[in-house]
Structure 1
Amino acid sequence: MTAIAFIGGGNMASAILGGLIENGYDSQSIFVSDPSQEKLDELAQQFNVNTNGDNEAVIAQADVVILAVKPQVMQQVIAPLKSAFDKKKPLIISVAAGISLESLSAWTSSDLSIVRCMPNTPALVQQGASGLLANQNVSDDEKALTNSILSAVGISVWVNSETELDAVTALSGSGPAYFFLFIESMISAGEQLGLTAETAKQLALQTALGAATMASKSELEPAQLRKNVTSPNGTTEQAILSFQKQGLEASVKTAMEAAFNRSIELSKELAK
């Protein structure tokens, strides 16, 4: 079985390795390093994986290395590991936002197969949506291996450029927060219309879950599903007309463009 090493044992690493084990992956083929012994003990107890405080030691065991450290410390963590990467030549998957393939190659080796992954927080409940970008060294088999690993926490799609990955960041990377804000607003409005806070919360959450599930399972486009719910002169139509009058579509576009532009800025800042 493919041996997988995680450099960093935080939330995203825990989500991926937990999803792998839940889907039948051998826990003894998973290795995790982290500077916190408390975190390592927690992961060993929870998932029965191999842990070590030495990054080079886990790389030596690995066919795949998942970089799951904070973007701000990525360079200082992986630059000292060049010789370990050169010796083992694993497939590298980075889940750190904003760190370009060019930077990752410069800090490790231009000969390595490297995949950038832009995950999102629903990966913590195995409902993630990830964008993937490969460098020129990644083979079709390595792409398939990447897909099989990340399928443990949701869906993944391949893109062709850093710019497209910035767009993924604006859509699915930051997207959960947009929906959380909308749910917050629905709960607040429900309370103002006379519902209790708990009732408004239950109804808003289930409505969001139901709409997303329906859209994902239906052969119809979301626009058509919306039209099917919107009866002429009905209550839904009045709400939709109000959203459109207040420029909801334009607001969403402006917000995503802001996230897209900030993603580009962050990549430039982190490359310095």
Structure 2
Amino acid sequence: MSVKLILVGCGNMGYAMLDGWLRSGRLMPAEVIVVEPNEALRERASRLGAGIVAAAGELPRDVEPNLVILAVKPQVMRAVVPDYRRFAARATFLSVAAGVSIATMAEILGDDAAIIRCMPNTPAAIGKGMMVTFANPHVNDETKAFVGELLASSGAVADIASEELMDAVTAVSGSGPAYIFHFIESLTAAGKAAGLPPETAKLLAMQTVYGAACLAKESGEEPGRLREQVTSPNGTTAAALAVLMGEDRLTRLVSDAVEAARVRSIELGK
């Protein structure tokens, strides 16, 4: 039985990627089998048309995937991955588990296994994600191109030259959406404290972050230059930035947060 892809785990990230692949037409439902022990999540995947099983032992004995995607929590990788070692001779493995190194995967799958690490983020659910990959030498160019096309249906894709950078990637873009969500929460709270009705404060905060991000991406200007364009001397923006930028306050706070996430990513991989 020939399928292109086995997706192991179909929680929020796995489902978001699967939905993007199928909606984009890069994969047909019949080319995917999802392995998911949770019944509700399994049924959700089934509604997309993919084949579903509850465990690796239920996969057809003659199934021969090109790609096995591991979208499970890093804490359970050592328990889950051995069930798929039988595919290592022919298939490439793509892991989206934070902190789990290629060396750890190779320890389970064999030294000759073709393995790609990927760090996606949750905006992949709406096709606005950031996916960063690193492949070991056993992954061929054709598979790299296929994986790149798949991931592109969920957002932007970047490769890194050193696997050691993956912990930094995790800390910046993997965890980064939560930082932005908290900033929206904080800006909303500040708006309410300034007297705005709650729903108005929330709308202003969300649309401002969204619009500024779009402008930063589409204008071609450096973010610092865009900031300067908004900031009139002795104006309201300058007064606010004096608080945020004084003594590099915000930069230091964000740097400390990213470093905490990077260290935790390293810890998770041990």
Q: Report which stretch shifted further, 182-191 or 51-60.
A: 51-60
Structure 1 distance, partners of 2:124, 2:24, is 14
Which residue in the other structure is 2:81 paired with?
A: 78
Q: C-alpha deviations, 1:43-79, integer Å up to 9, x for none?
A: 112x011112342626924111111112111111111
Aligned residue pairs total: 265
Structure 2 distance, partners of 1:258, 1:37, is 35
Q: C-alpha deviations, 1:3-42, integer Å up to 9, x for none?
A: 1110112111111110011112311111111123443233
2:129 corresponds to 1:121: no
TM-score normalised to the size of structure 1? 0.92
Q: C-alpha deviations, 1:99-136, integer Å up to 9, x for none?
A: 11001111112212110011111112221112211111
How far does residue 83 in structure 1 lie from its aligned partner after superposition? 2.5
- 2:88 counterpart SS class: helix
* RMSD of aligned residue pairs (Cα, Å): 1.7
How far does residue 177 in structure 1 lie from its aligned partner after superposition? 1.2
2:257 corresponds to 1:242: no
Whether the 8 Å contact between 2:74 and 2:269 is mirrored in structure 1 is no
Whether the 8 Å contact between 1:60 and 1:84 is mirrored in structure 2 is no
Structure 1 distance, partners of 2:178, 2:130, is 14
Which residue in the other structure is 2:158 paired with?
A: 157
5 Å-filtered alignment, 1:69-218, equals 69-86=72-89, 89-218=90-219
Which residue in the other structure is 1:15 paired with?
A: 16
- 1:169 counterpart SS class: helix
How far does residue 156 in structure 1 lie from its aligned partner after superposition? 1.6
Q: Report which stretch shifted further, 93-102 or 4-13.
A: 4-13
Q: Report which stretch shifted further, 111-120 or 195-204.
A: 111-120
Structure 1 distance, partners of 2:40, 2:121, is 25
Structure 1 distance, partners of 2:226, 2:50, is 44
Which residue in the other structure is 1:60 paired with?
A: 63
TM-score normalised to the size of structure 2? 0.93
Which residue in the other structure is 2:33 paired with?
A: 31
How has the CA–CA distance of structure 1 residues 2 and 140 changed in structure 2, closer, same or farther, with 3 Å as cutoff?
farther
Q: Report which stretch shifted further, 181-190 or 243-252.
A: 243-252
Whether the 8 Å contact between 1:129 and 1:156 is mirrored in structure 2 is yes
Q: C-alpha deviations, 1:174-208, integer Å up to 9, x for none?
A: 11111111111111110011001100000100001
Whether the 8 Å contact between 1:7 and 1:34 is mirrored in structure 2 is yes
Structure 2 distance, partners of 1:245, 1:83, is 57
Structure 2 distance, partners of 1:66, 1:187, is 38
How has the CA–CA distance of structure 1 residues 237 and 2 changed in structure 2, closer, same or farther, with 3 Å as cutoff?
farther
The amino acid across from 1:44 in the alignment is S
Over the matched positions of the two proteins, sequence identity in percent amounts to: 40
Gaps of 5+ in 1: none
Q: C-alpha deviations, 1:140-198, integer Å up to 9, x for none?
A: 22221111111111112111223211110111011111111111111111001100110
Structure 1 distance, partners of 2:65, 2:222, is 42
Whether the 8 Å contact between 1:5 and 1:61 is mirrored in structure 2 is no
Q: Report which stretch shifted further, 48-57 or 111-120.
A: 48-57
